[in-house]
Amino acid sequence: MKILVCIKQVPDTTEIKIDPVTKTLVREGVPAIMNPDDKGGLEFALQLKDKFGAEVTVVTMGIPAAEIILREAFAMGADRAILLTDRKLGGADTLATSKALAGVARQLDWDLIIAGRQAIDGDTAQVGPEISEHLGIPQISYVAGLEYDAASKKFTVTKETEDGCQILEFQGKALLTCLASAVKPRYMSVGGIVDAYGKEVEVWGADRIDVPETELGLKGSPTKVVKSFTKELKEPGQVHEVDAEEAVELIVAKLKEKHII
């Protein structure tokens, strides 16, 4: 079995702060990490490798510095890594990103593609389904469980929904988007870390994928950002440092003012 895993380098959004004076995002010093859902997806792939001897290729589209998450994937147990990086890919929205990654997939031999459900910087959950559409293969999103029967070559997938889950099965090629909460990604092994720097990360430019330039990057993006801004927080009310009795009086007064009691 050959598995292609799509991963993304993201800023750790829990570490992002807003500059109180300029009201802009402070990006300096924010660590760049492997997107958590993608790491969950990689873990799913590596578990298939453990059980069935799969060959795991990781691919990321990003800036040259994104190589570090591919090294991390090597250290976790991935066999091959591809960094798709090119200025022509800059400014891509989800559709243009998915076209590029589908382009990579077309150059490779695989049985299954795994991606994260969504990335914590954009939270769109769109790239995975869009890749599968370009490749003409089915998708299952919100994957929380994955089993494989080698005899029948059948995958059984648990998909999380708002009110429970669906159990789905399929044979043949498909793309799954996985939830970080569903698995505990393995740590990088010491041997893995040593190997990670011995292995080659293949660097691909846009010329390696057979996708027209008009469909890539900013040019190939149907959505355009008109503006971005930090949220206007509403005017805060008063903050009182009081003892519990006074606190109760203040709260009761507020509830009465709002006709709750």
Partner 1 sequence: MDFSDYKDIYVFAEQRDGEIQPVALELIGKARDLSQVTNEKVVAILAGSGIADKAQTLVAYGADKVIVIDEPELKDYVTEQYTQAVFQAVNAFKPSILMYGATTIGRDLAPRIAARLGTGLTADCTKLTINEETREFEMTRPAFGGNLMATIKCPEHRPQMSTVRPGVMPKATPDFNRKGEIVSFKPKFDASKFVVKLVKTVKAQKAAVDIADAKILVSGGRGVGCKEGFDMLQGLATVLGGEVSSSRAMVDAGVMPHDRQVGQTGKTVRPAVYFALGISGAIQHLAGMEESETIIAVNKDKFAPIFSVADLGIVCDLNKVVPLLTERLKKEQAR
What CA–CA distance (Å, rounded) separates 48 from 237?
Answer: 54
Q: How far is the CB of 14 from partner 1 (least distance, A)?
A: 7
Looking at the Cβ atoms of 164 and 191, the one nearer to partner 1 is 164
Looking at the Cβ atoms of 7 and 174, the one nearer to partner 1 is 174
Gyration radius of the chain's alpha carbons: 23
What CA–CA distance (Å, rounded) separates 23 from 119?
Answer: 24
Looking at the Cβ atoms of 87 and 154, the one nearer to partner 1 is 154
Across 33-57, b (16+ Cβ under 10 Å) vs e yields bbbbbbbbbbbbbbbbbeeeebbbb
Looking at the Cβ atoms of 124 and 189, the one nearer to partner 1 is 124
CA-based nearest residue to 101, from 179, 203, 211, 11: 211
Q: How far is the CB of 76 from partner 1 (least distance, A)?
A: 23
Q: How far is the CB of 248 from partner 1 (least distance, A)?
A: 5
Whether 96 and 134 have beta carbons less than 8 Å apart is answered as no
Q: How far is the CB of 77 from partner 1 (least distance, A)?
A: 26
Q: How far is the CB of 22 from partner 1 (least distance, A)?
A: 13
Looking at the Cβ atoms of 22 and 53, the one nearer to partner 1 is 22
CA-based nearest residue to 76, from 184, 160, 175: 184
Q: How far is the CB of 81 from partner 1 (least distance, A)?
A: 26
Q: What are phi and psi of 41, to 5 degrees?
A: -65, -40
Looking at the Cβ atoms of 167 and 194, the one nearer to partner 1 is 167
Instruction: Rounding to the nearest 10 degrees, give the CA dihedral for residues 232, 235, 237, 240.
Output: 70
Pairing of strands 2-6, 164-171: unpaired
